[in-house]
Amino acid sequence: MDAKLGQMKRVIQCLDVSPDDEVAYCGTKTGDLLRINVNRDDIQGYNDPDAVVPTLQGYSTHRYAKGIKAVRCVLNPQTGNTNVLVGSGDGTLGFMNPALNPVAGKSAALMGGVTSVSLAPDGRGAYVGTDQAMRYYVTLDMDVELRGTCHYGPIMDVVFPVDCPDLFLTCSVNDIRVWNARVRQELLRIQVPNLVCNCVGITDNGGTIVSGWTDGKVRAFFPESGRLKFVITDAHAESVTALAACHEDDSRPPWRLVTGGKDGRVRVWQITSSHQSLLHSMKEHRGEVNCIRVNAQNSQCVTASADGSCIVWDMERYVRVAAMFEPTVFRAVAYHPDESQYLTCGSNHKVTYWDAYDGSAIRVIDGGEEEMVCLDIEPQGELFISGGADKLVKVWHYDDGVEVATGVGHSGRVNALRISPDQRTVVSVGEEGAIMIWDMPDDMQSGEGKSRK
């Protein structure tokens, strides 16, 4: 159905039709609202031309910044007129009357550009979404209530504090967030504008949040307030791509932090209450360091790199102890709980078991049809989980090497996942910005998880 607009040319981004099907209100990229008469002819034959053509009736002189992204017709029960609820790209939400003028006192400012507006079933308000992943409930009197939040960019990492299944941390573009896993609610947001946080971790006693950023800095924060605790400037020449805190009490400094960068260097830092010093810089990787894991005794750590190597480092002498090579881009590595084996995954779609004594490959299993990106092992070593570019979360039996459960839900690559400390849930984060919490089936929970029920 074509409409006559005369000399006017507009890019229409959204529209809604009035309840009486007489008029369509169209939001444009230039920020003005068009009213088009869409009242149709009576029923005609299939080949008969339209006798009435939709035509432009008027347009607003008021323009919304960054264009109109969503419109909804709302019937005013007091006057019987149809007002238009308009959401714009700059986060403004407001009413326009049938004369296409803004209604005084009926506007609100939201965080992020409005992307969608849906009227509530009771007609007393509307649900509004923004491009910063904020979800609001707004009454017709423009009282705003925040109903939900999430990251609006790819989520890079997720981690649980030790022995705390009720909280987890995620990192993404511009921020780190702390979540309540039980009520699915954001508790704390730590913002660093115009940067991407590639990795996040927390010390064993929960006293310090550590994070690696694209500007090559390591930033640490207090977990209660989100206040900056310290910054390691120029930790790496390029992005900090992986980190792991040693299992030491950060309330009794010094303690150590291991970081890896896009430059392939692995660095160990000594953190005290007054300063941060470089203990050693190890350069054997020729590609980006994608994952770092420290063993329980803090005597060794293992790093996985995009150059096709996993290297085991002595944390006392800071030398290479063993190396494992494959024609793949290693994405993740994990210790078996008894530290007798390593588990790796990468771009070759395989999960490989390695002997920790001599670094030889023990078993290789097919992980899927796409690149594998992340994995985690539950504390008893009976199960492990994986995620990758196939958008699936998979649960595997460790000894049998068979897939025992699959989670379907992500619409983008699974970037990271973790098993909760009580082994009842799995949290996965994806390239599309989704955080998904999965229940572990009862028959797959380990003995510790079952005993807590």
pLDDT tens, 278-322?
999 999 999 999 999 999 999 999 999 999 999 999 999 999 999
Q: Is residue 7 domain-resident?
A: no
Can you tell me the distance from the alpha carbon of 375 to that of 292, in angstroms, rounded to the nearest whole number? 12
Q: What is the pLDDT of residues 204-216, one digit of tens each?
A: 999 999 999 999 9
Q: Is residue 426 domain-resident?
A: yes
Cβ count near 177 (within 10 Å): 23
Q: What is the pLDDT of residues 378-410, one digit of tens each?
A: 999 999 999 999 999 999 999 999 999 999 999
Q: What is the mean pLDDT of the chain?
A: 92
Is 318 in the same domain as 372? yes
Is 64 in the same domain as 103? yes
Looking at 125, 149, 173, the residue that finishes a domain is: 149
Residue 162: which pLDDT band, with cuts at 50, 70 and 90? very high
Q: Is residue 294 domain-resident?
A: yes
Q: What is the pLDDT of residues 107-118, one digit of tens each?
A: 999 999 999 999
Cβ count near 357 (within 10 Å): 9
Can you tell me the distance from the alpha carbon of 141 to that of 127, in angstroms, rounded to the nearest whole number? 13
Is 195 in the same domain as 281? yes
Is 105 in the same domain as 143? yes
Is 130 in the same domain as 188? no
Can you tell me the distance from the alpha carbon of 147 to that of 186, in angstroms, rounded to the nearest whole number? 11
Is 17 in the same domain as 161? no
Is 304 in the same domain as 189? yes
Residue 264: CATH number of its domain: 2.130.10.10
In this prediction, residue 418 carries a pLDDT of 98
Reply yes or no on whether the pLDDT at 442 is more than 80: no
Q: Is residue 2 domain-resident?
A: no
Q: Report, as an integer, the average pLDDT of 361-368.
A: 94
Q: Is residue 1 domain-resident?
A: no
Q: Report, as an integer, the average pLDDT of 153-169.
A: 97
Q: What is the pLDDT of residues 115-147, one digit of tens each?
A: 999 999 988 899 999 999 999 999 999 999 999
Is 343 in the same domain as 382? yes
Looking at 120, 149, 178, the residue that finishes a domain is: 149
Is 161 in the same domain as 139? no
Q: Report, as an integer, the average pLDDT of 436-452.
A: 66
Can you tell me the distance from the alpha carbon of 8 to that of 312, in angstroms, rounded to the nearest whole number? 68
Q: Report, as an integer, the average pLDDT of 160-164.
A: 95
Is 344 in the same domain as 403? yes
Is 233 in the same domain as 250? yes
Backbone angles phi and psi of 444, in degrees to 5: -105, -5
Is 45 in the same domain as 140? yes
Looking at 99, 114, 149, the residue that finishes a domain is: 149
Q: Is residue 34 domain-resident?
A: yes
Q: Is residue 194 domain-resident?
A: yes
Q: Is residue 241 domain-resident?
A: yes
Q: What percent of the chain has pLDDT over 90?
A: 84
User: Which H helix or E strand runs over 386?
Assistant: strand 383-388
Q: How many structural domains is the chain composed of? A: 2
Query: What is the span of the domain harbouring residue 207?
Result: 157-451
Q: For 290, left (φ over 0), alpha (ψ -120 to 50), or beta?
A: alpha
